[in-house]
Amino acid sequence: MNVQPNDIEPIDYQSVKQLCQFVNPHISGINTSQLVYQKLSTIDFKRYVPRLVNDINYSNAWILKDHEPEVVKRFINKEGGPESLDFIEFLKPETILKCLTFVPPITEEDESIKILQKAYPLARLHCNHTEIISTILTSLNPKYPIILNFSLDQLSLYIDKNCLINLSKILYTLNNLMIHDIFTKPFEIQQQIIKLKIPIIYTYVYDFIGCWKICEKNGHQIDYTNLKQLASSINNLDHFNKLSTL
C-alpha cells in the first residue's frame, strides 16, 4: 500500500502506523512532516501509543517522542545501528530531562549509561541547569559505580556561580559519599566549589571541615589549602585556623 500523507483518514492502527513515518523529516521533508504531525494531532492518538511502542522503529519513533519517554529506552534497546541514539536529539527539553532519570535500579546499568551519555550533553544545551543538578544528585548511588562515576563527572561540569542555589544539597550528597569512602571525585568537586572564591561558600566551612575530619580518620589525606585561601580572602583566617586544628 502506497500511503500518501494527504489522502488517508487515520482510523485504524495500520493506517496510523504508516502515517507515522511521514513525521520523520529525514524521510518526508520538513513541510510534509509538519503537515502529518498536525493531522495526527487531531485524532485520539494516545490510544495507539501502547501498540506503537511495542512495534517501534526509527520511523514511527518520531511521533512517539512527545507522548512517551519510555519510548527512548525501548528504542535504544532495538538493534539498528547508531542512528537510534540520534533520536534523543529531537526530544523536547522536559523529555530530555526525564531521560536523565533512567538510572539503576529502574534501568539496567549498561542500558542506562548509553542513554545518559547521549542525553546529558543535550540537557546541558536545552534544559534548566538547576533541574539537571537536582536530577544528578538523585542518581548518585554507590551500588552502581559506572553510573556514579559518570554522574559525578557530569556534576563537575556545573560547578560555577549558578550552582550556589543547589549548594546545600550538593555538599550534603558529596559529604555522604566521602564519609562512606567514595572519596576522590567528591573531594575534587568540593575543591572546585571552594576555588570559585565566592564569600558565601565559606558559610559552609563547618560542613567541609566536619566531613574532612571524618575522612582523615578513615585514612584519607586532606589538603586544606584552598579553603584556607578562601578564609583569608574574607578576613576569616583566625576562625579557619581554630576550626582546622580542633
What residues of the chain score a pLDDT lower than 50? 1-3, 5-8, 10, 80-82
**pLDDT of 164-196, one tens digit each?**
999 999 999 999 999 999 999 999 999 999 999
pLDDT of res. 80? 47
d(CA 209, CA 224): 9
pLDDT of res. 200? 96
pTM over 0.85: no
d(CA 86, CA 157): 23
User: What 3-state class would DSSP assign to 100?
Assistant: coil
pLDDT of res. 129? 93
**pLDDT of 74-86, one tens digit each?**
666 555 444 556 6
In sequence order, what DSSP letters do the residues of 30-54 get, joined into one string?
HHHHHHHHHHHTTS-GGGGHHHHHH
- Measured CA to CA in angstroms, residue 220 lies from 154, 179, 216, 244 at distances of 24, 10, 5, 15
d(CA 173, CA 134): 11
pLDDT of res. 81? 44
CA trace torsion 108, 111, 117, 123 (10° rounding):
-70
pLDDT of res. 221? 95
Domain boundaries, the chain: 162-246
pLDDT of res. 35? 82
d(CA 2, CA 18): 9
pLDDT of res. 234? 96
pLDDT of res. 82? 45
